[in-house]
Amino acid sequence: MNYRIFPKIPDCQISVLGFGLMRLPLLSNSDEIDKEKTRNLIKLAVSQGVNYFDTAYPYHNGKSEIVFGEIVKEENLRDKIFIADKMPVWDVKKEDDFYRILDEQLAKLQTSYIDFYLLHAMDGSRWEQMKNLNVTKFLEHAKSQGKIRHIGFSFHDNFDAFKKMCDEYSGFEFCQLQYNYIDEDGEKRTQNPGWQGLKYAAQKELGVIVMEPLRGGLLANPPSGIRDIFASADVPRLPAEWALRYVWESQEVITALSGMNDEGQILVNCAVASTAFPNSMPQSQLEVIKKAQFWFESKIKVPCTGCKYCVPCPKGVSIPEIFEKYNNASMRGLFEQTEKILLTDYENLVNWNKGANQCVNCGSCVKHCPQHIDIPLKIQEAHNSLLLKI
């Protein structure tokens, strides 16, 4: 395992591969976390040198913190790892909420301190709201009490909003950004700072945690068009390795989070992490990545990462599934075919009252989307496009 150091936190060596706890294995036919499988995954990751674990208040409907905290205590891992957790700023209505929620998180994690504490899913508007609620006062108080050790934020907005947030509070020590070879130009497809954010964070001496390096698994298991591009390269690599190496190519990146839910993923990702270094990819390999970028640019209809922040929908619309089917149909070339194609998966969603036709345009999903997708508009677009093929 390779390790990197935050510019403002020189005493912490962080594994370049971090474990994201948002997509843990589930029990059969259930939305409950499979604790024993999760335990085995965490123990395996630690044995491979992973020491950064990232959870959050809403992950797995609030259960991620609880299950992770139990495992860490039962396996005596607290002194071997760094825990990252996040303040759910959308739930903060008054200043006291900051203190109440943090104490709740500490109790769920069964720990007296959180190593890396982030303001979750920040954007320009939320930053203004949090400033009005004295968020920096809370962060500094929590740090002085030893409840949190390092202060950061995760971010989903454009570069200008990111720059403003970095400039206005010098207490930030790190940030978490969405970055991968699809989202390199952050504002071209998604509302994210992209490579500009990486460079500006470095100017401000903020270490960068990368989320979605594999785009919710899409880059680990891509369509055949991408596999063909990588197969033509002069070096044999799995798609996930191409994606991870590209992220670690940037020296500004301290660690990349991967939501690993089986042992094979951990072993493969850790093997790559042990041999990936900044500025180590030759131009010929970067050209292969560019070809993959162009291919995705022409195919992806909606920049959904499958984070599921938008669900549950009050009307039961299965938003992430609809976007996944829409993008998959495009990437498989179905919309270019002239014959009628029965897309039974989407037809089933409609028949189960989970299709976009159930949407009443209430907008409750939009405010939760970190990609700032106009969800009611896009699911209707998906609905119309998919049903045209039935």
Instruction: Name the residue range of residue 152's domain.
Output: 3-299
- For the segment 16-67, what is each residue's pLDDT rounded down to a tens digit? 999 999 999 999 999 999 999 999 999 999 999 999 999 999 999 999 999 9
The answer to whether residues 337 and 262 belong to one domain is no
Final residue in a domain of this structure, among 248, 271, 299: 299
pLDDT category of residue 344 using cuts at 50, 70 and 90: low
pLDDT category of residue 191 using cuts at 50, 70 and 90: low
The answer to whether residues 203 and 250 belong to one domain is yes
Q: Write out the DSSP string of 261-283.
A: -SHHHHHHHHHHHTT--TT-S-H
pLDDT at position 291 over 90: yes
Which pLDDT score, from 0 to 100, does residue 153 have? 99
What average pLDDT does the chain have?
Answer: 93
Tell me how far CA of residue 376 lies from CA of 170, 186, 320, 326, 373, in angstroms: 38, 22, 12, 14, 9
The answer to whether residues 177 and 118 belong to one domain is yes
Final residue in a domain of this structure, among 299, 333, 350: 299
pLDDT category of residue 104 using cuts at 50, 70 and 90: very high
pLDDT at position 155 over 60: yes
Q: What is the CATH number of the domain that holds 52?
A: 3.20.20.100
Lowest average pLDDT, out of 47-61, 77-91, 277-291, 300-314, goes to 300-314
Residue ranges in the chain assigned as alpha helix (H): 35-47, 63-74, 95-109, 124-132, 135-144, 159-168, 186-189, 194-203, 224-231, 239-248, 263-273, 283-299, 319-331, 344-351, 375-387
Which pLDDT score, from 0 to 100, does residue 256 have? 98
Amino acid, single-letter form, for residue 243: A
pLDDT category of residue 118 using cuts at 50, 70 and 90: very high
Determine contact, residues 19/81, Cβ cutoff 8 Å: no
The answer to whether residues 115 and 147 belong to one domain is yes
The answer to whether residues 363 and 282 belong to one domain is no
pLDDT category of residue 9 using cuts at 50, 70 and 90: very high
The answer to whether residues 245 and 280 belong to one domain is yes
The answer to whether residues 278 and 327 belong to one domain is no
pLDDT at position 343 over 70: no
Final residue in a domain of this structure, among 267, 299, 331: 299
Lowest average pLDDT, out of 11-20, 115-124, 190-199, goes to 190-199
Comparing CA positions, the residue from 16, 7, 10 lying closest to residue 249 is 16
The answer to whether residues 353 and 281 belong to one domain is no
The answer to whether residues 50 and 158 belong to one domain is yes
Which pLDDT score, from 0 to 100, does residue 305 have? 86
pLDDT at position 342 over 50: no
- Please give the average per-residue pLDDT across 313-328, as a whole number: 92
User: Higher model confidence: residue 276 or residue 343?
Assistant: 276
pLDDT category of residue 216 using cuts at 50, 70 and 90: confident
pLDDT at position 371 over 90: no
- Please give the average per-residue pLDDT across 82-104, as a whole number: 98
Number of domains in the chain: 2
pLDDT at position 186 over 60: no
User: Higher model confidence: residue 305 or residue 151?
Assistant: 151
pLDDT category of residue 189 using cuts at 50, 70 and 90: low
pLDDT at position 388 over 70: no
